[in-house]
Amino acid sequence: MNPRFRMALTATAVLSLGSAIGFYGAFGVADAADSIAQPGQQSDSSTGIKAPVTQAQEDPAVTRGRYVAIAGDCAACHTDPHHGKPFAGGYALETPFGKLLASNITSDKKTGIGAWTEEEFTQAVREGKGRQGENLYPAMPYNAYVKVSDQDMHDLWAYMQTVPAVENQVVSNQLPFPFNIRLMMMGWNLLFFDNTPFKPVAGVSAQINRGAYLVDGLGHCAACHTSKNFLGGDKGGAYLQGGELAGWHAPEITGNPYVGIGGWSDKQLVQYLKTGSNHVAVASGPMAEAVTNSTQHMRDEDLYAIAAYLKNLPGSDIRSPQPLKATSPLMQQGANVYSANCSACHNSNGKGINQLASSLAGNPGLQADNAQSLITTVLEGGRGAVTVDNPTSGAMPSFAWKLSDQQIAATLSYIRNSWGNAAPEVTAEQVANVRKERKLPGQLSADGTSR
């Protein structure tokens, strides 16, 4: 239930803009989002969730549940963008262990959850147990949703019952042997599933606790931003300090000022989550999907709570290394390639274009040890988050056909060590590996063939 790569490691789900518009239009999320900023809200005292009061005479539980679904980003995985039927499942989640198809969670009684009870629904979401007692795979992040409150679960159930029924039989488990044996999840749960409900953090503000509830529970941010071990469990001591997924590196999002978000103001972080960009960064890849489908529709007070919580986390002890010398051959080659191919959008000073091309100067996301996202973006290109406040967004073309592995490595090394940045160099071998993993063409030769 989130556009991230999760089956014990997470799974990437991509929603097109058209699918997103179709979903929000069909189920009134846009209406809910419009009313979020309006006065007259109801509050659940246990979690602090305030539900917008819509003008329509709707059951308040349904209204609150719609917002819970937004915060949990349920549509991202359970909507297949190819047929545009919200929550009908069928979207393929590619995992390191094979393919899983997201289940149908519409109100259809035959192929969806229309015949389920609220208890069965809650058990699946918070405990990873199917209707027949079968173990679910952690591609459905029950290890995070276990922290969702009873009230929010009840409201989410109330909302899901209003989702129009779509008959779509999905055979979710398409994993190869032995991963298709669900009993294996018993061992995984013993090792990695902490079924402790959310507990407020002592000695911090209500705002920080609200942020903790959203980040650790509904937002399940650790699914992407915490590194995993070989079994797909969270690595101890690495909470929200960055993780790798499906060709992307989800950066550290703690208060670390060097590679985290400690150098951002709360306002800048809220702007990023609301619009998909700020003066430094433009959300792309899986994060762009999260902004488009989820965080842009959340209330500002919740986004500020998320910012307060994340910035309160001490994070890793990573500090910036000494930058590479500008006179080195690698940096000089990178400067030349950058000037010819990148400066038109990102400017010669690396400042970028506000809400269009990300700033490269002093950007903590560029300075992580892992440069995988940067390599993927240059090779594949990409598009920033499309939001109500930034409907045009910005797009970057693919350079796989134009630049060699060495040219890309030199350019990224230059970017990561200029304008106040400092990070390890990127090698041609790293670029070649990503190019191969993503099945991208090589640089075109003079005769029009790939090298």
The dihedral through the CA atoms of 40, 45, 50, 51 has a sign that is: negative
Q: Is 345 annotated as a binding residue?
A: yes
**Local structure of 249: helix, strand or coil:** strand
Q: Are strands 243-245 and 248-250 parallel, antiparallel or unpaired?
A: antiparallel
Q: Is 220 annotated as a binding residue?
A: no
C-alpha distances out from residue 68 to 169, 218, 294, 445, Å: 26, 8, 10, 52
Strand boundaries in 234-346, DSSP class E: 243-245, 248-250
- Enter the tokens of residue 27: 């189920």
Q: Are strands 98-101 and 92-95 parallel, antiparallel or unpaired?
A: antiparallel
State the Cα–Cα distance between residues 190 and 192, nearest whole angstrom.
Answer: 6
Residue type, 16: S
State the Cα–Cα distance between residues 145 and 214, nearest whole angstrom.
Answer: 10
Q: Is 224 annotated as a binding residue?
A: yes
Cis before 178 (ω within 30)? yes
Bridge partners (DSSP) listed for residue 248: 245
Residue 41 burial (CB count, 10 A): 17
Residues contacting 218, CB < 8 A, separation 6+: 68, 71, 72, 144, 145, 148, 152
395: enclosing H helix or E strand: strand 395-396
State the Cα–Cα distance between residues 130 and 116, nearest whole angstrom.
Answer: 10
Helices then strands, each counted (H, E), the chain: 18, 9
Annotated binding site: 74, 77-78, 221, 224-225, 342, 345-346
Annotated binding site for heme c: 74, 77-78, 221, 224-225, 342, 345-346
